[in-house]
A = this chain, B = another copy of it.
Amino acid sequence: MPLEIPDVVIDRLPVYYRLLSRLAYEGRAVVSSQELGEELGVTPAQIRKDLSYFGRFGKQGRGYSVQRLTEELRTILGLDTRWSVVVVGIGRLGRAIASYPGFEGQGFDIVALYDSDPNLVGTDVEGIPVRDYRTLEHELRQRPVDIGIVAVPSEAAQGVCDTLVQGGVRAILNYAPTRVVLPQGVELKHINPILFLQSMTYHLMRSPDRAGRPADARREMPA
């Protein structure tokens, strides 16, 4: 396996995995790069190139073995492993994340929630205890955690991320709409809905019945 796989390829692997899991569930034995491409909205050439980083799964003209490719992706992505997660910031967003139904079944165990609000500390969300943020670093050192999810206001995000890293956390998913700087070797992803919306407005701008209004137009004006 080559050492340097582009991050954009790695980011697509979970999407391949999810699709292949569904095909396996539906009893499919083989799938072509053509079909994978149609399902995912990318070219078959892109599919073949992405998967070629991880060895030769497909046979020319026969397609990919759904089972074998699913299993390989499961191993590559570490999905046979269980990962412990803490969520910091138990406002509306943190609560929504803590009660998200998908984590456990995918190997992610939310082991604790943290907040600095004394009215929240000692309560729980869906049975997961809310602990005092001031004890976070100490508790991480006592019991290491793999992943931190940050759902605090922007101005608190850098400090929370620093504390997580001090406590040994190596991967952070940041929902705060701000930039944070982390040391090399710590994985960081942002979930910022604005960035998703902005890449969609690129397409809306170019659609035949163009939507949107000039910035100086009032809402009541015809588009």
A 169-210 to B, binary, CB cutoff 8 A, 1 in contact else 0 = 011010001010000010101011111111111111101010
Would you give the shortest CB distance from A194 to chain B, in whole angstroms?
5
Would you give the shortest CB distance from A105 to chain B, in whole angstroms?
9
A79 interface residue (CB < 8 Å to B): yes
Would you give the shortest CB distance from A207 to chain B, in whole angstroms?
6
A 58-100 to B, binary, CB cutoff 8 A, 1 in contact else 0 = 0000000000000000001111111111000001110111011
Which residue of B111, B177, B201 contacts A81 across the interface (Cβ within 8 Å)?
B201
Let me know if A14 and B78 touch, CB within 8 A: no
A49 interface residue (CB < 8 Å to B): no
Residue numbers in B under 8 Å from A223 (CB-CB): 144
- A213 and B10 in contact (CB under 8 A), knowing A177-B101, A193-B191, A200-B171? no
- A193 and B77 in contact (CB under 8 A), knowing A42-B7, A204-B146? no
Let me know if B106 and A96 touch, CB within 8 A: no
> Which residues of chain A from 31 to 45 have any CB-CB distance to chain B below 8 Å in the complex?
41-42
> Which residues of chain A from 1 to 50 have any CB-CB distance to chain B below 8 Å in the complex?
7-8, 10-11, 13-15, 17-18, 22, 41-42
Residue numbers in B under 8 Å from A128 (CB-CB): none
From DSSP, what is the main secondary structure of chain A's interface residues? mixed
Residue numbers in B under 8 Å from A17 (CB-CB): 198
A156 interface residue (CB < 8 Å to B): no
Would you give the shortest CB distance from A31 to chain B, in whole angstroms?
16
Q: How many chain-A residues does the 8 Å CB contact rule pick out?
A: 75
- 16 A-B residue pairs with Cβ-Cβ distance under 8 Å, sorted by A, are A8-B8, A14-B198, A77-B198, A78-B212, A81-B213, A81-B215, A82-B214, A83-B204, A93-B93, A97-B193, A107-B201, A144-B211, A170-B204, A171-B200, A171-B204, A173-B196
Given contacts A77-B199, A147-B201, list 13 more A-B pairs with CB under 8 A.
A7-B199, A11-B199, A14-B195, A17-B198, A78-B198, A78-B212, A82-B212, A82-B214, A83-B212, A84-B219, A101-B177, A171-B197, A187-B200
